[in-house]
Chains A and B, each alone.
Chain A
Amino acid sequence: MRALTRTLNAVQRLMEHTEEVPDLDETEAEQTEAVQPTAPLHLIGIVSGSAMYNVAAEDPERALKTLSETGISLGNPERSQWGDELLSPVERLSDVARSLGCEIEFRRPGKDGDILATITPQSYEMLSATAFVNGESSICGYLERVGGATERRCGLRLPNQPAKMVFCPVQTVELVRQLGQHIYRNVIVSGTVTWFRRTWKVKSVLVKSFAPAKEGSILEALGHIYEAGGKAWDDVEDADKLIAEIRGG
């Protein structure tokens, strides 16, 4: 039953194109598993002993379109614009398929309805290989959450993608504790960063170390830079020209 709930929840997210909020603890997460009353799909038929479930859509045309587009994208992952709103449901559905040792098929209504999309246990892995790029880097962000009941994680609000918090695994418990001292402050985290390949938005960071963000007066800092050596620019007659020369122009 839990697998069915997870499946339906993932399909609803696929329909709504909403992104998952994975920071909640288990109790909260279970509450969100329940299908919301405004969900675009409604389960209308469960047959005992059958793994086929009929659903009705608020907007059937859109639902069929979304599912068939998902199927096409799964068939051509290289050409598709994978965002988190698509990848999260596919990840969930792949998990379910793996745990049950099956494939999840979405079909048009009717006994011999066409297959719109098929999610296999490998679907998400296959997409991951094309949807993301990974590498060691460091990123500025505002630390909004630290901890987690089941996993060590932190929640970062990145300045260039403020609409959604980025949830990041943290390598060690000690690091979680240290991060906890900096909650609700800007930090610079370093580690393995995963970006969406098409948009270069950050999906997550495996945090291996961090540093508090820089604080203090910017105007005073400019003065310090001037005194330390930046005053050399006062002797440069045409600064634009020099920069162009440095760049080879």
Chain B
Amino acid sequence: MDSMVLVWGVRKSGTREDIKRARFLFMELEQAEAQIIIPSIVVAEFITPIRTSEEQARTVAAMSERFFIAPFDAMDAVLAAELWNAGKSRREMGKPGARVCLRADALIVATAKNHGAKEFFTNDDACFRMAESVMTARRLPNMAPDLFSQ
């Protein structure tokens, strides 16, 4: 999954709608007893605002308890390069930071794909389009997995 999905799944303050939709997703994954792959690049992004290295280490350890933190390896680099090349033509590369953002998306999607992800969860349009070129891409759900969930 992409960084923002994890952020909305963890945080307790912020846009209520995003938190609720992330909750719906994680409830669905819980019911399915899903294996969740967190690309290591996502981990790096997630722990960036955490202040101390001790807290960062504890956070990564807590993630590892239930999620598979997929390392970025050489073969992910090969796929990421392919995705980057394919993605160039689909994005406005003139925008500030577009290249760097494309690269980050490519690294994350390639890691998820190569380590066995069936579905990729993101709410970012550009990342969604890249992910759906190699697997099923999904956004945060609007509804709870069962009717009576809050």
A221 adjacent to B66 (CB under 8 Å): yes
Bound-complex Cα distance A232 to B11 (A): 8
Bound-complex Cα distance A159 to B135 (A): 11
Other-chain contact of B48, A133, A160, A246 (Cβ < 8 Å): A246
How many of B's residues come within 8 Å of A, CB to CB?
63
Q: Which of A18-26, A115-123, A143-151, A236-244 lines the interface with chain B?
A: A236-244
B118 adjacent to A234 (CB under 8 Å): no
Interface size class of A (residues with CB under 8 A): 35 or more
Q: Which residues of A from 201 to 249 have beta carbons under 8 Å from B?
A: 202, 213-222, 224-236, 239-240, 242-244, 246-249
A140 adjacent to B10 (CB under 8 Å): no
Q: Does A49 contact B (CB under 8 A)?
A: no
Q: Does B97 contact A (CB under 8 A)?
A: yes
Residue in B34, B78, B114, B118 with the greatest tally of chain A CB atoms within 10 Å:
B114
Other-chain contact of A231, B12, B79, B115 (Cβ < 8 Å): B12
Whether A135 contacts B116 in the complex (CB less than 8 A), given A225-B10, A234-B11, A246-B48, comes out as: no
Query: How far, in Å, is A125 (CB) from chain B's closest CB?
Result: 21
Query: How far, in Å, is A137 (CB) from chain B's closest CB?
Result: 5
B50 adjacent to A229 (CB under 8 Å): yes
Whether A224 contacts B113 in the complex (CB less than 8 A), given A233-B11, A247-B101, comes out as: no
A135 adjacent to B11 (CB under 8 Å): no
Whether A222 contacts B10 in the complex (CB less than 8 A), given A135-B73, A213-B68, A247-B104, comes out as: yes
A218 adjacent to B30 (CB under 8 Å): yes
Q: Which of chain B's residues has its CB closest to A220's CB?
A: B66
A159 adjacent to B35 (CB under 8 Å): yes
User: Majority SS of interface residues in chain B?
Assistant: helix
Q: Does A188 contact B (CB under 8 A)?
A: yes
A138 adjacent to B115 (CB under 8 Å): yes
Residue in A158, A160, A242, A246 with the greatest tally of chain B CB atoms within 10 Å:
A160
Query: How far, in Å, is B118 (CB) from chain A's closest CB?
Result: 4
Give every chain B residue within 8 A of A249 (Cβ-Cβ): 96-98, 100-101
Other-chain contact of A160, B64, B73, B113 (Cβ < 8 Å): B113
Residues of B whose CB lies within 8 Å of any CB of A are 3-4, 7-14, 26-27, 29-30, 33-37, 45-52, 55-56, 58-59, 61-68, 70-71, 73-76, 78-79, 96-101, 104-105, 113-118, 134-135
What would be 23 A-B contacts, judged by CB atoms less than 8 Å apart? A134-B75, A138-B115, A139-B114, A139-B115, A160-B117, A162-B118, A214-B65, A217-B30, A218-B34, A219-B30, A222-B9, A224-B62, A226-B10, A228-B55, A231-B11, A233-B14, A235-B49, A240-B4, A243-B45, A246-B45, A247-B45, A248-B99, A249-B97
Residues of A whose CB lies within 8 Å of any CB of B are 133-141, 158-160, 162, 186, 188, 193, 195, 200, 202, 213-222, 224-236, 239-240, 242-244, 246-249
Additional A-B contacts beyond A231-B11, A234-B12 (16; CB < 8 A): A133-B75, A160-B118, A200-B114, A217-B30, A218-B36, A221-B63, A228-B55, A228-B58, A229-B47, A229-B55, A229-B62, A232-B49, A232-B50, A247-B100, A249-B97, A249-B101
